Amino acid sequence: MTDRLYLGIDSGTQGTKCVVVSEKKQTALAESYCGYDLIENDRGGREQHPASWLDACRKVLREVLADQAVDPSLVRGIGVSGQQHGMVPLDKKGEVIRPAKLWCDTETVPQCKTITNRVGGEEQVLEKIGNQVAAGFTASKILWLQQNEPANYERLATVLLPHDYINYWLTGEKKTESGDGSGTAYFDVVNRCWSRQLLSAIDPSGKLEYCLPELIPSEAPHGVVTPARAAELGLPAGVLVSSGGGDNMMAAIGTGNVSPGVVTASLGTSGTIYAYSDSPVVDAQGELAAFCSSSGGWLPLVCTMNVTVTTELMRQMFGLELAEMNDQAAAVEPGAGGLILLPYFNGERTPALPDARATLTGMTSRNMRSDMFCRAAMEGAVFGLRYGLEVLKRNGIDPQEIRLTGGGAKSHLWRQIVADIFGCEVVCLQEEEAGATGAALQALWCDEKERGAGRSLQDITSCFVHLDEHSRVSPIFPNMISYETVYKSYLQLNGCMAKF
């Protein structure tokens, strides 16, 4: 059997990764990473220029294609995973108008309220799209552009999401799919279509509807790499580009979360916890993101905005290396000596506290120590994900095992804290780059469909996605009991925060 290679690109907030997956060997042959920075302001603005994503894509693609284990002539497809919710505004020439506002941008909170009020309140919004107009979603960013930069809004001809923009760069085609589209807050997740009511609430003139890309099924190709781009990158002619999707949707594929019964939690810059469903899951309280998956189903998901960002800030404050921080935190008993951190450095999405700020409570003369602070940072981030787990349980999803991904999952201490606070086993995957791997597997799935092959995506992931049993951690009963008490205090503090 002649091998076929598939490239997975994961363009995130901190950097871009690329993996090369071999169909024949059912493993990754090479990978590369390139980092970049955020553009931040004190009003909650978080932006990046899409040019930095493209520069990173060029670098990682060239590096993996130059790897001795990779034969570029065997590349058949590319899948792209991108950070969700970002607004990439293009003019009529397809040029970027201004830097993209990102998922972690909370500068547009007033616009969320405006859109919601125009539709008739939260219940009406939930009825029309299955989601709320949450801080970070794309809708409020577009209204922000209209209100704050009217000249730029006048130039607006197309609005793309980050992964769609990279697909556009590769193929010259402007398209999107339901998974990433469902995180815009102007997409009806039940009927898988744009919501005219929400679009009209953003811009009553009707212009916005004509700025949206073509909507395609998740299994359909976005297009093929243009001859010019193929020549630039060293790719063969006719390389297929799959529909791609948001980072959570691609990580779901990369963790085998493509059928009911699997739950994934990501310990990245932000935190997410999600499960596959064959039907829409709409939370009556609006705390659950009722996303579509990028595999043909739905992906009920809860997102928190502060996980490894929390530990990174703590590590930097004390001038610790990562291993030093882990060692210090590991030496402290569960509960961090009474310290509880609400890690809302970027505000918070779940619970809905976009204007909140980080708060540390329980300080005494005995716990004002770096090791206690480090432990509290890790625990506080996981308490936020526990809140998300409770939202999933409220909607009928009750896991016995959780598959962990993201940078934090590499730490045994993180995994133990998650298991103890969640009260269930956690396990990692053998392939750490879930988003990039998922993107490559979606490209394989798409290519097989184009060639008339009949394998389902579940069949594909069962061959390529493997649990790392050495990483499996079970909860320790005394720790679980301790954390139940601390978690109740965490919930009380959240209640106080909501009143400010």
Q: Cα–chain-centroid distance for residue 174?
A: 21
Is residue 161 within 8 Å of residue 82, measured between CB atoms?
yes
Letter for the amino acid at 116? T
CA angle 367, 373, 376 (to 5 degrees): 105
The C-alpha torsion from 149 through 155 and 158 to 160, rounded to 10°, is -40
Q: How far apart are the first and last CA of the chain?
A: 64
3 state DSSP class of 402: strand
Is residue 241 within 8 Å of residue 61, measured between CB atoms?
no
Distance CA 9, CA 11 (A): 6
Q: Cα–chain-centroid distance for residue 16?
A: 13
Pairing of strands 46-48, 100-101: antiparallel
Q: Cα–chain-centroid distance for residue 191?
A: 23
Strand locations in 70-161 (E) = 75-82, 88-90, 100-101, 158-160
Which residues does 453 contact at the CB level (< 8 Å), separation at least 6? none
Distance CA 283, CA 264 (A): 19
Distance CA 216, CA 248 (A): 18
Q: Which residue has the tokens 């060997």?
A: 25
List active site positions: 247
Q: Phi first, then psi: give them for residue 161, nearest 5 degrees.
A: -85, 160
Pairing of strands 193-194, 27-35: unpaired
Is residue 216 within 8 Å of residue 243, measured between CB atoms?
yes
Q: Tokens for 396?
A: 């009928």
Distance CA 91, CA 74 (A): 36
